[in-house]
Structure 1
């Protein structure tokens, strides 16, 4: 499958996921903050909830499991050597390199995701408070962040925190060497103008249209990354509009743009209204690139205003209740604005955000419970506009929603 994603809502034809495993349990209250969590998760409950989510996806589209794609890419010994060296060098763990190469492909794949325990063969290791020589990838089931499908290419993310950098290395290996999904990869570190301060993550990048990209500017993605993309569009002579939305650094629920804004349909989007629709101190910038040059960079009052100028006729739906800031804050905290589109007007999100689900229902979205779809009591094909509600008490505590847990690789082109 060749990667091609030119919108957030085109009918989904292929998506990569990662079913969370024991790496979730390789976390303690002591290291949760380092792992970018505010709490530890219960794997049994999280797995049950994720199975609902995954089962609905499999009912609708082609689903690829990242572990299987990685195993496929690792059939080559040279690829295994390259990946092991990149990971060990990046994490200052070259003493693990030879041990990794001695593993079977299955065990190598497991080690890349679940980590490698530290050998107790020196006094330093014996007395160390660390358990792992290579730490577990606690966040990897949030597949959105480590790579970004941009039209027929994949941008390899520059993660803001080193604890997640291996995720991006793995995704680059997959797209470069898998036969199942493939694409030209764009990695900032491979360019002469590379700035080591660049950070960009997939939750901050929304492919709005063939000529429009939205980028969040906050704790995970920065201006240097936007500059990098500007240069790439200039080089390719691509006509492009980049709408940049500044985000608060606190609280942590604002880490990515897709936590406050997601597309639902041609004419609907879900927003955290205080940030996206009201004029406030967080800046919105429109950058226009044409014929290899930056035509202009200018401020807009809000992101909704910028999108309207770009001919998006969007009715924003409110995360929570429009006139109740407390409810908006509560539901945004648990990914109430983070919906994933299976197709135009066909979306998935957490059931727990009841006020947001009611808002969708009041605007023509049929509410379908995931378990009813899985058991065959409801058929998504019978509805033109729906929201699938996923039971989520444990998964939201990790800090992400349905969009966060998916990496689309193929969508049908939209007829705007």
Structure 2
């Protein structure tokens, strides 16, 4: 049996292993009436979304990256019947199923399925009609709500160094997503004996999400204080990281506007090379950065507001000059349009080699002019979920740089 480890000490080191979730029937359980609650603005066409996602996975494989799938890892975990029963009980509780009869019927329904079928069903959601129940007209049709945001594997848990943050999600509809990570790292035969450290508790009342967690180097993290991540959660994570045996010495808190268009730090800022970053220019107007370091003697965090431009702060932190590549070339209209379609949400598969959405052609041309090799993927349907290539991927192993 292979024993897997986590090793992520940068945003740009050559990617070796990545976690994805291939979109499933949860997207077909989106309807206009429930879009807002399920955090979508539109309904992707599943057939095309899967074709786009398969091409996304293909780019990884063509570049020598091992692709793992969330649903397959989880199906392996629940092949043990005791673990499956424990998982179902916990999942039903977290789904708010407290009626004894309903809980019993749901449990029997799920327990009767094959492993992968059960995982797919839980992710897709269970309707009243699936169990022969009838609801009144206009009543919410789901006993278990669908989980359409799962193809954004970056958010629910995120790898840092040799460990993982099991995140506490801001929106209630996404909180169940983190249970998959908990079970994979606790029970999967390839992970459970790997001594993978858990740096954040998914049950914390303080919210933090993986799209706000960036690893600039093996000494520096950048974390967004955003619509989805509490400042206090960042301090808690910082304490856990600083008190571990990880080499990280500094955390930069990026205070970004608290609104949906700038949902996470990685929707407005990503690293694409040793000295290059993409950025949505609008955040530069209000961006404030706070530096956290640790006083080992007094076991306390030192917080200091940084002054100067983003370029100067990053240059000082990394020890060399940096270049900011502004989404849409800084043009207000182009930047606004392309950022809405995740023009700043790039994923580096090695230094200077990135995956982007093809629709953000102005930003892609700028990346090319800055000697960044771009794999521009089709994105008519995946982009409807408001997340780009970085959002849709969770690196497990990167080569150190």
| Fold shared by both chains (TM-score > 0.5) | yes
Q: 1:213 to 1:228 in 2, by over 3 A?
A: same
Residues 1:224 and 2:236 aligned together: no
Residues 1:247 and 2:247 aligned together: no
> 1:348, CA displacement in angstroms?
0.5
Query: Which ranges in structure 1 are unaligned for 5 or more consecutive residues?
Result: 366-385
Q: Secondary structure at the match of 1:286?
A: strand
Residues 1:260 and 2:268 aligned together: yes
Q: Distance in 1 between matches of 2:351 and 2:68?
A: 22
Query: What residue number does 1:403 align with?
Result: 390
Query: Which ranges in structure 2 are unaligned for 5 or more consecutive residues?
Result: none
Contact 2:225 2:253 (8 Å CA) reproduced: yes
> 1:401, CA displacement in angstroms?
0.5
Q: 1:214 to 1:99 in 2, by over 3 A?
A: same
In the TM superposition, what are the counterparts of 1:77-116 in structure 2 within 5 Å?
A: 77-94=81-98, 95=103, 96-116=106-126
Q: Distance in 1 between matches of 2:58 and 2:295?
A: 43
> 1:104, CA displacement in angstroms?
2.5
Which of 346, 352, 356 matches 2:363?
A: 356
After alignment, is 113-122 or 134-143 more displaced? Answer: 113-122
Query: What residue number does 1:283 align with?
Result: 288
> 1:130, CA displacement in angstroms?
1.8
Q: 1:57 to 1:299 in 2, by over 3 A?
A: same
After alignment, is 37-46 or 132-141 more displaced? Answer: 37-46
Give the TM-score, by structure 2 length: 0.90
Q: Distance in 2 between matches of 1:42 and 1:16?
A: 22
Which of 50, 59, 68 matches 1:56?
A: 59
In the TM superposition, what are the counterparts of 1:5-404 in structure 2 within 5 Å?
A: 5-60=8-63, 61-94=65-98, 95=103, 96-119=106-129, 125-126=135-136, 129-181=139-191, 184-186=196-198, 188-189=200-201, 195-196=204-205, 198-236=206-244, 239-250=248-259, 252-275=260-283, 278=284, 280-291=285-296, 293-294=299-300, 296-301=302-307, 302-310=309-317, 311-322=319-330, 324-365=331-372, 386-404=373-391
Q: Secondary structure at the match of 2:29?
A: coil
Q: 1:232 to 1:57 in 2, by over 3 A?
A: same
Matched pairs, number: 384
Q: 1:39 to 1:207 in 2, by over 3 A?
A: same
Contact 2:221 2:251 (8 Å CA) reproduced: yes
Give the TM-score, by structure 1 length: 0.87
> 1:200, CA displacement in angstroms?
0.8
